[in-house]
Amino acid sequence: MTDSTIIIPRSSFTALSGLGATVTYRPLRVTLALLSDSNVDLFFMITDKQKKFLRAKAHHLKPVVTAGNAGLSEAVVNEIEIALAHHELIKVRINGADRDERKQMSELACKKCNASLVQLIGHICVLYRPAKKPVIKLP
């Protein structure tokens, strides 16, 4: 699998519509992941201003998924998928790991769930993935 990050100007958004991507007006940083079966997944990265907005929204939330000592099992990833589909913005508690392992686990969860990592403090990480009909309007 090869990854590359590019910044797409506003005029190039029409080229992405053929891929079935949802395109917004402002420029976005897009990471393209080219898989061996030639599928293209788009991971939309959020800006610093959007992260600040989402951190404020997530402040009052409680963790809805807990990853234990077993790490990110398929069951935990499925629960994260379900929670992101329902809530868009969730907190995940990662137990039983040191700082580097928690960071790796949160990044792996983002990759597996096509989500963005908003914040990682201690054992709690905040993940965001827009729904098909987004409820949270990003600035």
Query: Are 28 and 93 contained in the same domain?
Result: no
Residue 44 forms beta bridges with which residues?
30
pLDDT in tens, 93-110: 999 778 999 999 999 999
Q: Which DSSP letter does residue 18 get?
A: G
CA distance 25 to 27: 7
* Domain of 59, in residue numbers: 48-128
The per-residue pLDDT for range 34-72, each reduced to its tens digit, is 333 333 344 568 999 999 999 999 999 999 999 988 889
Q: Are both 63 and 36 inside the same structural domain?
A: no
The DSSP 8-state label assigned to residue 24 in this structure reads: -
**pTM above threshold 0.75:** no
Strands 63-67 and 89-94 come out as parallel
Q: What is the mean pLDDT of the chain?
A: 78
Residue 23 lies in a domain: yes
**Number of domains the chain is built from:** 2
The pLDDT tens digits for 28-42 are: 444 444 333 333 344
